[in-house]
Amino acid sequence: MKSQRSAYEENRLNAEFFALDSAPKMKDYFKSTTHFFTPTYIKDKNTFLDIGGSGGNFAAAIKSEIADINPTVIDPDPNSITKGKNSYPSFEFIQGYFPETKLPKEKYDIVSIQALFPQIPNWKEMLLSLSKHTKKYLNLSLVLKLHGTTIVDKDVSYFYYLDSGERVHQVVHNIHELLNFLCIREMNVKKIMFFGYHTPEAGHNFRCVPNSEQIKGNLMLELFEDESDNPKRMGGAVHKGANNPNYSFFVPEMDIIIDGKKIDPRS
């Protein structure tokens, strides 16, 4: 399928709805969103990049309740950026599109992309770009399914974006396809964590799977801070390679929790 550009890439969205929001608390966000945003992972003085972060409310909630982070927020919508600069003058705000817009830093301790990743049709390229700008942790919200292929087609899986009325992609990722991609060496992933749950509520989105099969959640990736520690991938017969001192069989550690139960997606 020919690569499709998203409304986000072309700066055609209007998020005035979010720009006018009052500042929420962490408890106001989805449980899946807040699961990994804890002192276990977020530390004082961490540099934090929030992609599609609107007016900075999520970064502000983290800074107020979790750790004294140094936030950078990038968003294509001018209303959001103006509101953010007025509300949080100490934050770095950038009106633009990731990854095309130049960022102040090459890498950030934590990179966040909330409520946006399912709208990105070229999701593999986006993940590679996110990895290149992440020093330690990458967190993104998404919708998964256990069976069936990932469909990237906004004629069959979509929603109308807030006040703009723009019809955008709503990509529901097959968990196996997504995890397999995360394991390639280029992604530089050390550990894959996921916390999610089935969402029976219908909502306003038109997705390519029944509501009962949708898994809403957040993916937390721990990356190798030193890329030279990222092992070379080797294949072949594992039972033979195990006796070879030069053989390296590496798969990122996985901690996948769905509906409160830890699962092994490879079993």
The correct answer on CATH 3.40.50.150 for the domain covering 16-263 is yes
The whole model's pTM is what?
Answer: 0.89
Q: Provide the β-strand partners of residue 256.
A: 194, 263
Backbone angles phi, psi at 206, to 5 degrees: -105, 100
pLDDT in tens, 103-138: 999 999 999 999 899 999 999 999 999 999 999 999
Task: Identify the segments of the chain with pLDDT beneath 70.
Answer: 1-22, 202-203, 236-248
Q: Where are the domains of the chain?
A: 16-263
CA distances to 84, 99, 121, 123, 149 from 177, rounded to whole Å, are 36, 23, 14, 12, 8
- Please report the pLDDT score of residue 130 as a whole number: 98
